[in-house]
Structure 1
Amino acid sequence: MQSRLRVQGHPIQPMLVTFPYGLFVCAVIFDLADVVGGPVFLGEVGYWTAVAALVTAALTAVAGMVDLWDVPPDRTRHTAISFNVVNAGMAGLFLLSCLVRADATNRGATPALLVVEMLGLAVGGVGVHLGARLMRHFDATRSETASVELVRGVDAPTVEVVRPRP
C-alpha cells in the first residue's frame, strides 16, 4: 500500500500522529502538576496544550482517512479503521475535558477531569499498539530493493545485487 499523502516518499500520517500523542501527554503532565498544587498557570497551559493536541488530532484524522482509501479490504483495513476509531475516542475524551474547562475562569484541571484525561491516554495506548501493528505490516510488504533505495537516497545509482549460489 502506498499512502496518497507523502512528503519526500514518506507517508504523512505516521509523522503527524506523534504530535497529538505528545501534546496529550504534556497536557496531562501540566494538569497533574496543577491538581497537586503547582502554580495556577499550569492548568491554563494544560488546557491550551490539549486544545493544540485536538487541532493536530483533527489533521491526523484527515490524513488517516485519506490513507484508508488505499488499504485493501482485509484484516489490515480492520486494523486501520480500529486505529482511527481509537484515536478519535482518545481525542473525544480530551475534547470533553476541554469543553468542561472552556467556561472556567482559570481553566484549571480538577481531579475528575484528570482521571478522564488519563483514561484518554490509556485509550491512546491501544492506538499506539494498533499503529505499531500497521507499521509492521506495511514494512513487511515492502520489497528489499525499496528498502535499499531508501537508505542510498534518491540520487544514488541503481545497483543490482547478485547473490552467490550455495
Structure 2
Amino acid sequence: MASDTDRHSDMQQASDIQQAKRPVSAALAGPYGHPFHPILVTVPIGAWVASLVFDLGSHAVDDPDFLARGSVWLIGLGVLGALAAATLGFLDLFAIPTRTPAFRTALVHMSLNLAVTVAYALNFWWRESGSGPHGSVPIGPLVLSIVTLAVLAVSGYLGGKLAYHYGVRVADEATQAAGFRH
C-alpha cells in the first residue's frame, strides 16, 4: 500500500509534468502544444551548416571569395537567429520545475547553445577583422566552425531529449490521441 509520502510525490511529479507542458506566455513562447523555440532553432542550424558547406566549397573553386563572404553572412544570420531562439528558449526553461532531471538537462542545453552562439560571434569577428574575407577560408575559422557545429549537435540531442523524452512543451497524451481517432 502506498504511503501518503509516495502519493504526494506522485502528485507533485504529475503537476511538474503538466507545468513543463504549458507555456509561460502563449503569446511569446507559442500556444500549448506548439512552441515557437523549435521553429526558430532551424534558422541558426541551417545558416551554420550552410556556412560550413560554403567554407569547404571555398577550397574547391577557382574564385573562393564569394563563398567566403557568403559564409560570413550566414554566420551572422545564424547568430541573430540564435539570439531570437534563445529568448524563446528562456521562456520554455521557466516552465520546467527546478530540481528535476529535465531542468538540469535544459540548463546544459542552454549553456551549450550560448557557448556555440558566442563561438560563432567570435568566428564572425575573426573573419571580418582586417579587410574581411579574401580567398579560401583559413584553417583556423574552418576548424572553429567544425568544432562548434559538433557542440551544437550535442546540444540538439539534449533539446530532443527535452521534447521527446521528457515531453517539455509537448501536448499531453489525451490531446495527442485526438489525432488518431477514426
The TM-score with structure 1 as length reference comes to 0.82
**Post-superposition shift, 1:46?**
0.3
- 1:147 counterpart residue number: 176
- 1:133 counterpart residue number: 161
- 1:77 counterpart residue number: 103
* 1:64 maps onto 2:89 in alignment: yes
- 2:41 counterpart residue number: 17
Task: State the identity %.
Answer: 24
Aligned with 2:167: secondary structure? Answer: helix
1:35, 1:110 within 8 Å by CA — same for their partners in 2? no
Aligned with 2:58: secondary structure? Answer: helix
**Post-superposition shift, 1:16?**
1.0
Residue correspondences, number: 153
CA separation in 2, counterparts of 1:67 and 1:141? 11
Structure 1 residues 1-166: aligned runs within 5 Å: 1=20, 2-3=22-23, 4=25, 5-7=29-31, 9-39=33-63, 40-73=65-98, 74-108=100-134, 109-136=137-164, 137-138=166-167, 142-149=171-178, 151=179
Inter-CA distance 80–105: structure 2 relative to 1 (3 Å threshold): same
* Uncovered stretches (5+) of structure 2, i.e. residues with no partner: 1-19
CA separation in 2, counterparts of 1:122 and 1:105? 29
More off after superposition, 2-11 vs 37-46: 2-11
More off after superposition, 32-41 vs 109-118: 32-41
Inter-CA distance 72–98: structure 2 relative to 1 (3 Å threshold): same
More off after superposition, 47-56 vs 19-28: 19-28
Deviations 1:83-125 (A, max 9, x none): 1111111112211111111234342421111001101001001
The TM-score with structure 2 as length reference comes to 0.75
Inter-CA distance 133–144: structure 2 relative to 1 (3 Å threshold): same
Inter-CA distance 124–78: structure 2 relative to 1 (3 Å threshold): same
Deviations 1:42-91 (A, max 9, x none): 00000000000000000011111111111111110111111111111111
Letter in 2 for 1:117: S
